[in-house]
Amino acid sequence: MTTGLIPGEQPPDPRPTGGLPHQRHDPDGPPAQHDENRSRSSVITARAAASFEPVGRSVASARSFVRDTLQGWGFADIVDDAVVLTSELVTNAVVHAGTSADVLCLRSDEGARIEVADRYPEREVPLQGTAVNMGSPDREGGRGLQLCAALAGRWGVEYTPTHKTVWFQLDLPARAVGTRAAGPALPAELLPLADGRVRVAVIQIDRTGHITAWNEDAEDLFGYPADQVTGKPLTDFAAWPHTPGTSTGIAEALRLSRWEGSYGIRDADGRVVPVYASHLRVRDTGGEPSTVCLLVRDHERAVLQTPLRVPASDGPSSTEGQSTDPFEVFIGSPAPDDLDGLLQRTVERARDMLDGDSAFLLLATDDETELEVRASTGLPSARQRFARVPVEAGPGRYGSARMPAVHDDLSAVPGAVPLLNGTGMRSVVTVPLKVEGRLTGSLGVAAEAPARYSNEEALRLQFAADRIALAVESARLGELERLRRGSLSFLVEASDLLAGTLDRDQTLALMAQMTVPTLATWCAVYTIADQSSEPDLSYVLHEDEELIDGIKSLLSKIPPPDPVPTPGARVWSAPGENAHQSALRSSMRSLGLSGGTGNQVTPGIGPTLATASAVGGETVVLPLVARNRVIGMLTLGKPADEHFRQEILELAEDLSRRAALALDNARLYSERTAISQSLQRSLLPPELPSIEGVEVEVIYRAAGEGNEVGGDFYDVFPIRDGAYGFAIGDVCGTGPNAAAVTGLARHALRLLAREGLSGPAVLERLNSAILDEGARSRFLTLLYGEMRPQEDGSAELKVVCAGHPLPLRLRQDGTVEPAAEPQPLLGVIDDLELYEETVTLDPGDVLLCVTDGVTERREGTRMLGDDGLADVLTTCTGLTAGAVAARIMRAVERFASDAPSDDMAILAMRVPGLQQD
């Protein structure tokens, strides 16, 4: 296998073993032996190597490796041939032979040598003099050697027992010393047009994408002084002309060793200036990389543009009778892999072919009723991306996109080509792109001079359009398929996120965050409470957080869009128009044209202009319809001079339907939660009464998310002068039926106690009321008592404990004992024989009442129980009622790590000691 040499060494003998064909030269050229001697005497000045796994994607990776390497060496003239040959040879290795491939690039003064080696283990070494089978050109594989013979200056095959290496040498074209590219002398009228003074902006970008240098021509072209842009990312000013995710972006282009192409720069007035750029990646003496960007106005691209590689009309390809693909003649070889690159290459070649000032390409929608701008050159940015025009616009054939048309003077036929309105173009030729008789697009070339084109140019352009129509449609369908797969994934994720919350505010935030920046640059959500309410601006989001307040202020000052239930997106021009007028008024005030001084309003001009630029593009409104009612509107917007593509609007419409249902579900849930919480709060007393001589404290915890009240309840209320009733209970079960018994018990206790009935009588009547509920009845454990503070500082309690955990009494000496006897619970049998017990709380004593959620707190097989509660209570001597309740709750929570599964209520009453009087 051939191995690379370090700089200064001699390359190996390129002649292959076994007498295989290894060279190609013109009949009139120098002898082959002279070429070989020249190759052996050249010095290798650089080398690059890479290995690729035996998978399909390795072919594309190998192409990129060779392309980037040769472009970095400045060998642009041989890049295309090298990439084609490498692609075929690596395909043979990783696809057909099924082994990994090693690619080695060697640079010399004459050109580049590239070697591709595979590791097929069962290949036989050919015998001396054996003829080489070049394969059939119609086969899927095996064309690599044919291409080497056709394109390479020299080539060969080398074998070892374990490797096969195919190498080829591509020589640089001979030029005069110091000349890299040259073109013929041309008459003055054929030279490209440029302004009186050509300004070349020189911008330097550091490795993080931030601007470090900005020359005077950049200030003149874009209006920003150097100190205003230095340190900011170039992406803040660049308007990249493609759909995100489908092609190379500005950040990726800045990382390439060399890049050349078109994009836009937003100037200080918010307009996009189309530019042609040449990027070169360099490094300083310290090894720090940066990118130098040279930019000119797009119509002056000839200053920077690399001359197109013109296919040779003679040479071996012609002499051997090989035909040339008309598509490759027009587009160039290899053709761009992505749709955006293919369309941009198409309009540039069409413009150059007819010597026009601008060109554009539009693709038809599925129903062929509209054309969408997908690529243009030489036109303002507003005409560049995704603007839509109807297919039949204007009278006669001049307005038809289905037939070739030549317009000698557009000023005589206003509106014939809406895309060119206001651009200064006078003459234009347009031709359709058709596949199997179906309109798929339209290609046009325009010039500023009138009567520039004739039928002959229309035929030339139509011939080119016919050659590329099928490739464009195939690329468009491939892009559409990728977008649809991405859309399905996006909608699935959006549905999961929206289904994961029932909070209205969070749903609004999710709606906006899913659309920005994936679908739009900014978004606003309007909601409608009911049919009689006006739309309310509920949420605003922009990809730049600093612009949100300005957009919100603008939208709050203009009438909201009409809540039309018609599905689909409709254009809303009010934000852009009002923002433009507001910016104009601010600018006039800053100049002192409408009163006031400029110094007073200058601070507000920046945000106003920024807002106008942010909402100056296309704005669309989609209705949010749920359950046959418009509940809001989803507003999506683009910055100045940008439009939505049709696929994005269709995706936004699908999202709006899902978002509307999620928002309505959140509204219904919020309403029902508010009703439930209001009813739950009515089951508990609004506040505890102040009892002279007795401290009272309650802690209540309802189990379950969103519950304020469960099956447990408590109450403390005045009965008559000097007497107070208290109760703590637990209704069996949960849900509405349990809540109904809770409300019945609390209100019945207050009513019956104030009628002067004793404790047993009150509970017996409550028992009858519960049984009267029939199927809705629930049994109830209840501790009820009446308390009367005494003049000596004690308190007398009469208690009835109906099936409830017994109250505990804590004395000042730390002893704990039950304060009542157990009796039957309520809601089970008709005839109850209840009795009341009298308990006297001396000064310093505490009475603790709890529900079973406290005593039945579990951790595995352990349970707190009555004994555990009593142990905790013994540590509460001398504490206030509030401190006692807090310590009990803290002990219960710490007993187990899991969240409580049952409601808990703690009622603590304490008679203060004499020393506190």
* Mean pLDDT, contiguous 10-residue spans, the chain (917 residues): 36 38 36 40 81 82 86 81 85 77 89 86 47 46 67 84 85 67 69 84 92 94 93 85 48 80 84 87 88 90 70 39 50 67 85 86 78 82 64 48 82 77 85 85 89 85 85 83 77 81 86 86 88 85 86 87 85 82 71 49 54 80 88 87 79 88 86 74 78 91 63 87 90 73 85 90 90 78 93 91 93 92 90 90 93 87 89 92 93 85 88 63
Compute the Cα dihedral for 790, 794, 795, 800 and give only its sign.
negative
Contact between residue 465 and residue 443 where contact means Cβ atoms under 8 Å apart? yes
Tokens found for residue 11: 């390359």
State the pLDDT at residue 27.
Answer: 36
Ramachandran bin of 770, using left for φ above 0, alpha for ψ from -120 to 50, beta for the remaining angles: alpha
Q: Determine phi and psi for 5, rounding to 5 degrees.
A: -115, 155
Identify whether the C-beta of residue 475 lies closer than 8 Å to the C-beta of residue 342.
yes
pLDDT reported for residue 610: 75
For the chain, the distance separating the N- and C-terminal CA atoms, rounded to the nearest angstrom, is: 105
DSSP-assigned letter for residue 793: S
Whether the Cβ atoms of residue 153 and residue 111 lie closer than 8 Å to each other: yes
pLDDT of residue 36: 42
At 590 the pLDDT is: 63
Q: Are 444 and 464 contacting, i.e. CB atoms less than 8 angstroms apart?
A: no
Amino acid 917: pLDDT: 39
Q: Which helix (H) or strand (E) element contains residue 206?
A: strand 201-206
CA distance 300 to 835: 105
Side chain identity at residue 41, one-letter code: S
Using an 8 Å Cβ cutoff, are 764 and 834 in contact? yes
What would the two tokens of residue 360 be? 């554009």
For 664, the 3-state DSSP assignment is helix
pLDDT at residue 916, rounded to an integer: 42
Using DSSP bridges, classify how beta strands 522-527 and 154-159 pair: parallel, antiparallel or unpaired.
unpaired
Q: Which residues partner with 370 through β-bridges?
A: 390
pTM higher than 0.85: no
Structure tokens at 816: 């704990």
**In this predicted structure, what is the pLDDT of residue 330?**
62
Cα 230 to Cα 209, 210, 227: the distances in Å are 11, 7, 5
- Res 11: pLDDT: 41
Structure tokens at 162: 């374990």
**Whole-angstrom Cα distance, residue 670 to residue 53?**
57
The residue type of 425 is M
